Structure 1
Amino acid sequence: MQPANKNSGRINLDPDNAEEGLAQLVMTVIELLRQIVERHAMRRVEGGNLTDQQIEDLGIALMNLEEKMEELKQVFGLDAEDLNIDLGPLGRLM
């Protein structure tokens, strides 16, 4: 499956290829949430109130999540730039 609209930064809303645009949109939302969770986790680590075991567990969970995202991008034929959609006057998403 090819990306919805390769390198344009926009979601493809063509009815004949709606599933590709939907996959791109869903993956973009998941990637955005993953980045938010990662930033929050880093703030908690930097806050100094986690045990060494909690930091280790958090690191492993984040690595596993990133690996799964890479697998899903391959399944849907997307790359990181495909998930950085153009929001028009607001600029790029990520």
Structure 2
Amino acid sequence: MVSRTPFGPSTAPPDEEDRMPHGDGARRLETDPDTVERDLMKLVLTLVELLRQLMERTALHRVDEGDLTEQQEERIGMTLMILHERMTELCDRYDLTMDDLDLDLGPLGSLLSHNDA
């Protein structure tokens, strides 16, 4: 009998599947229908926040180098400020904090910087 798992088909009978040992590397995908939307939004917001921080660092570097006009600096600053406000609004809507968006990368540290408040 072939049953389906979240990772694809399994050839073990369903009762045998429940008794199969799960080592450190083998984890079952657990999904809760009630939190799928929130979890997806958390992933999307994490990526958007990472990109926002990268854009901010690039903009600051360009300002330091003198590559931008005063008008461009103001426009980029306003855009980044609005994006940060929208991020905060979406986090509030999905009951998330900016700390919830961070990922622990083990020995590499955290994904997102916490320099901006």
Q: Shorter chain as normaliser: what TM range?
A: 0.7 to 0.9
TM-score, normalised by the number of residues in structure 2: 0.63
Higher relative contact order (CA 8 A, sep 6+): 1
5+ residue gaps, structure 1: 1-12
- 1:23 maps to amino acid: M
State the percentage of identical aligned residues: 50
1:6 maps to none
Specify the SS of the correspondent of 1:15.
coil
Bigger proportion of residues as helix: 1
Is 1:63–2:87 an aligned residue pair? no
Specify the SS of the correspondent of 2:41.
helix
Is 1:41–2:31 an aligned residue pair? no
Partners of 2:39 and 2:80 in 1: CA distance: 26
Bigger proportion of residues as strand: 2
Please identify the structure whose Cα radius of gyration is greater: 2
How many residue pairs get aligned? The number is: 82
Instruction: Note the aligned Cα RMSD (angstroms).
Output: 1.5
1:13-35 per-position Cα deviation (integer Å, ceiling 9, x unaligned): 63113222211111111100100
TM-score, normalised by the number of residues in structure 1: 0.77
Partners of 2:68 and 2:106 in 1: CA distance: 40
1:15 maps to 31
